[in-house]
Amino acid sequence: MKTNYLALLLLLCFACTQPTATDNTTNEQEPEIESSAQDDVSEDEPEEGGPTNPASSDGAVVYVTHDGDKYHTADCRYSKTAHAVKLSQAKADGKTACGVCKPNSKTGEKQVRCSGKTVEGKRCSRTTADASGKCFQHRD
């Protein structure tokens, strides 16, 4: 008799927790936030003294952690908890380049592989941002 009672109790609990086809409400309700203080602030204009989006401004974007002294590229393994800032701001704060991802002052520039040939006749493996497409060793 006790097992029948427990089975019935479990069935009743399970049935009560399942939403029905006619039930349009969800278990998670969004809390209502009174935004009377925020009504006068435009969403397009940043607040004075508030954080700005460094990606929308000019300059290279690097990533810095809260307590670190290095700046990183977006795909560096050390930039998981980092936030985006401009490169000039990171340097002004005394941050130095990461030794793993090696972001440089020309982070935004596209680098290509050197088109020069080595003594063995193989293509050079260095990268360059020079307009000639050749690294420092193969420029004439």
Burial class (CB in 10 A: 0-12, 13-18, 19+), 91: middle
Mean per-residue pLDDT over the chain, rounded: 72
Q: Which residues of the chain have pLDDT under 70?
A: 1-3, 13-59, 104-109
C-alpha distances in angstroms, 63 versus 49, 78, 82, 93? Answer: 21, 9, 5, 13
pLDDT at position 120 is 93
pLDDT at position 1 is 65
Token reading at 109: 């520039």
Burial class (CB in 10 A: 0-12, 13-18, 19+), 133: middle
Token reading at 89: 């701001």
Kindly provide the b/e burial profile for residues 4-37, where b requires at least 16 CB atoms within 10 angstroms of the residue's own CB.
eeeeeeeeeeeeeeeeeeeeeeeeeeeeeeeeee
pLDDT at position 37 is 43
pTM of the model: 0.37
- 41-64 pLDDT per residue, tens: 444 444 444 444 444 445 688 889
pLDDT at position 52 is 47
CA-angle at 36, arms to 49 and 44, nearest 5°: 45
Contact assessment for residue 137 and residue 124, using Cβ atoms and an 8 Å cutoff: yes
CA distance 133 to 113: 7
